[in-house]
Structure 1
Amino acid sequence: MNHTQSYFEGFDGLPLFYQRWFPDSSPIHEILVVVHGLGGHSDLFKHGVRCLVPQGYGVYALDLRGHGRSPGQRGYIQQWLEFREDLRAFLQFIRTREQVETCFLWGHSMGGTISLDYALHYPESLQGLILSAPALGQIGVPAWKLTVGQVLSRFWPRFRLKVGIDHSLSSRDLTVLAEYATDSLRHEYGTARLSAEFFKVVRWIDRNIDRLEVPLLLLHGDADGITSPQHSRSFFQSIQSVDKTYRHYPNSYHDLHADLNYMEVISDIASWMAQHGRRSHPLSLPLQCLALN
C-alpha cells in the first residue's frame, strides 16, 4: 500500500493536513474522501483504508481546521462555510492530482453534517454520499452546554468547553477505547461559535434536503448514544430522492468504522460504491484487508 501525507491549502490559504492511501500497483477505480467528526482526525479510519484500498479504491482523508495535525484553535470556526469551502478546496486539490472521474464522500458524525451540507451546495462534484452516524439533530452533549454556546457565540465566540460526550459509547471494542484514551491528536472541545454555526447549518439542511441530488448511503447503529438513530431514520424517510439506501446495525455504537462489526459496515460501503461507481471489475467479497503499520 502506498501511503503519503502532507498539507494542502484550505480555502483561505490555511495549511491543512491530509493523508492518501493507494494500492501499490493495481489501477485506481474510484476515490473515497473521508471527513471525520468533532474532536477526531484522519487516522481514525484505518479499518476502512486497509479493507477498501485492496479493492482498488484510493482513499484521501483530511484533518479539519482546529483538529488533528491541522492548525487552528481546537473545535473553533468563525463560520460554517470554512468547513464547506475547505472540503471544496480539498476535492479540487485531489482532482488536480488524480486522473479519476468517480469520487465518493464519506462523512462521519459531524463530518456527516459537513459532507451533507457540501453535497447540497456542490452536487456536481460527487458520484455518491456516505453518511455514518451523522449529527443531524439530537446529540449526546448536555443541553446546558449547547445553550451556553449559542448565547455566547455573539459576544465570546472562542469560549470553549469540553463537550462532555461519553466516549465509552463510541465503540464496543475495548482495544479501540484504550487507543482513544491515549490518542494525543484527539480533543474534546467545542466553542461557542461552533455550537451556534452547527445548529444554524442543521436548520438549513432541514429546509433544503429536498434538493439533494447525490445518491445516498446512510448508516447508523441502533445503540448509538452520541447521535440519534431515530432522527437518522426519520430524516432518511423525508428525503425525496429515489437513489437512497439506509443500513442499520443492531447493538452497534457510534463509531461504526471502529466497532466490533466493522467488517460488516465496510463491506456494505464497498458493495454500495461498487453499484454506484464505474468499476472495470467486480468487487471481491469477502473483503481481504491489509495490515497497516
Structure 2
Amino acid sequence: MLGNPFTFRQNDVDFFGKIYPSKKVNAVVIIVHGLGDHLGRYEDFVIPELLNNDFSVLAYDQFGHGKTKGKRGYNPGFDQVLESLHIVVKKAVEMFPQKPIFLYGHSMGGNVVLNYALRSPELIQGIVLSSPFLRLAFSPPAWKLQLGKLALKFFPGITMGNELDPKALSHDPKAVEKYLADPLVHDKVSPNYSIRFLESGEWAIENIDFLKLNALVLHGTADMLTDHLASVEISKKNPKKIKLQLYPDGYHELHNEALKETFLKDICTWINKNL
C-alpha cells in the first residue's frame, strides 16, 4: 500500500505523513503511533481495514520517529507534540471538509490523543485509544526516575534505550520478528518523552471528567507495558463519555494479536455509531 505522502515543517523539523483516501468517505481517521513506532507498521492490517469500512486515513511519524527528520527518540516538548497533531487535524479538515474526524492513538499515541482531546476538542468527533500509555504496567526503579528528572533539567536531549521487551508486544512470534527486523523501528527515548509523558498521563487521568468527546478505550488485560487499570480508571471516572473494551490475555499491540480482526471490528462499529 503506497498512500499519498505529505510533509510539513514544525520547530525546524520536517515531518513525514501519508494520506490514504477511501473511495467513499464516511469519516476520517488520524492515526498517532506509539513509542519507537512509525506509520508504516499500520499499513499491513489497520489501515486497510479502516479503508474497507469507508474511512479515509491520515497518519504521520511523530518527532524522532520513522521518516520524520531529527534525532531518534527526542522531541522539543509536549506542547510541540500536541501542535504537530493539530497541524495534521487541520490538514484533514482542509482535505475532507464536512467529514467527521476521529483520532486513533496507540500507546504513546493514545496519551497524545487523549491530551489533545481534553485541550482542543473543537475539530474532532471522537477518539479511539489503543493500549494508551497513561501509566506504565510496571514500576521503574526510583533512582531511574530521579535520574530521568535530572536529565530532563540539564540534558533534555539525551537519549537512552527504552528497555522495552519486544516479546511483550504480541503473542505472535512472527509479529515480534517483523518488529525487530524493521529498520524504522528504534528503542531510543529521551526525558522529554519518558518523564513528560508520565506527567501528561497522570494529568489526563486527573482531568478526565472534562472530556467532552465520546471515546473508545481498548486494552489487553495482559499488557506488560502500559497499565490497563489506568484505562479502567478513566472509564469509571467518566462513564458517560468513555466506552471501555478489555481483551482478556491481550498483549500491548492488539492490532498484531490473534484477536486483531475482532479488535478492528470493535473500532469500526464504534466509529459508525458515533458518526
Q: Distance in 2 between matches of 1:80 and 1:139?
A: 22
**The residue matched to 1:38 in structure 2 has which SS?**
coil
- Cα displacement string for residues 173-211 of structure 1 (whole angstroms, at most 9, x for unaligned residues): 111111101101011011123223222322322332211
Alignment of 1:129-208 (within 5 A): 129-140=127-138, 142-143=140-141, 144-208=143-207
> How many residues were matched structurally?
273
- Cα displacement string for residues 213-266 of structure 1 (whole angstroms, at most 9, x for unaligned residues): 010100001111111112221222112x51321101111110011111100000
Q: What residue is the counterpart of 2:28 in the other structure?
A: 31
Q: Distance in 2 between matches of 1:190 and 1:87?
A: 19
Are 1:145 and 1:163, in contact at CA under 8 Å, matched by a contact in 2? Answer: no
Q: What residue is the counterpart of 2:229 in the other structure?
A: 230
Q: What residue is the counterpart of 1:77 in the other structure?
A: 75
Q: What residue is the counterpart of 1:288 in the other structure?
A: none
Deviating more after overlay: 132-141 vs 122-131? 132-141
Are 1:35 and 1:111, in contact at CA under 8 Å, matched by a contact in 2? Answer: yes
- Which consecutive residues of structure 1, in runs of 5 or more, have no partner in the other structure? 278-293
How high is the sequence identity, in percent, across the aligned residues? 29
Are 1:8 and 1:93, in contact at CA under 8 Å, matched by a contact in 2? Answer: no
**The residue matched to 2:222 in structure 1 has which SS?**
coil
Are 1:30 and 1:100, in contact at CA under 8 Å, matched by a contact in 2? Answer: no
Q: Distance in 1 between matches of 2:14 and 2:96?
A: 20
1:93 Cα offset (Å): 1.6
Q: What residue is the counterpart of 2:57 in the other structure?
A: 59
Q: Distance in 2 between matches of 1:217 and 1:72?
A: 32
1:13 Cα offset (Å): 5.2
Q: Distance in 2 between matches of 1:250 and 1:243?
A: 23
Which structure 1 residue ranges, 4+ long, deviate > 6 Å from structure 2? none
Confirm or deny that 1:214 pairs with 2:218: no
- Among 249, 261, 264, the alignment partner of 1:263 is 261
- Cα displacement string for residues 264-284 of structure 1 (whole angstroms, at most 9, x for unaligned residues): 00000000001001xxxxxxx
Confirm or deny that 1:109 pairs with 2:117: no
Q: Distance in 2 between matches of 1:96 and 1:225?
A: 39
- Cα displacement string for residues 99-147 of structure 1 (whole angstroms, at most 9, x for unaligned residues): 3420000101010000000001111111111001011112457434433
Are 2:28 and 2:92, in contact at CA under 8 Å, matched by a contact in 1? Answer: no
Residues 60 and 89 (structure 1 numbering): CA distance in 2 closer, same or farther, change over 3 Å?
A: same
Are 1:84 and 1:118, in contact at CA under 8 Å, matched by a contact in 2? Answer: yes
Calculate the TM-score normalised by the size of structure 2: 0.94
Question: Letter of the aligned partner of 2:28 in structure 1?
Answer: I
1:2 Cα offset (Å): 7.2
Are 2:131 and 2:218, in contact at CA under 8 Å, matched by a contact in 1? Answer: yes
Q: What residue is the counterpart of 1:94 in the other structure?
A: 92
1:71 Cα offset (Å): 1.1
Are 2:137 and 2:223, in contact at CA under 8 Å, matched by a contact in 1? Answer: no
* RMSD between superposed Cα atoms in Å: 1.7
Are 2:136 and 2:227, in contact at CA under 8 Å, matched by a contact in 1? Answer: yes
- Cα displacement string for residues 41-60 of structure 1 (whole angstroms, at most 9, x for unaligned residues): 00122311111202211011
Q: What residue is the counterpart of 1:6 in the other structure?
A: 6
Residues 95 and 76 (structure 1 numbering): CA distance in 2 closer, same or farther, change over 3 Å?
A: same
Residues 222 and 207 (structure 1 numbering): CA distance in 2 closer, same or farther, change over 3 Å?
A: closer
Q: Distance in 2 between matches of 1:221 and 1:215?
A: 20
Q: What residue is the counterpart of 1:289 in the other structure?
A: none
Residues 259 and 145 (structure 1 numbering): CA distance in 2 closer, same or farther, change over 3 Å?
A: farther
Are 2:255 and 2:263, in contact at CA under 8 Å, matched by a contact in 1? Answer: yes
Calculate the TM-score normalised by the size of structure 1: 0.88
- Cα displacement string for residues 8-34 of structure 1 (whole angstroms, at most 9, x for unaligned residues): 233x353211112123xx321100000
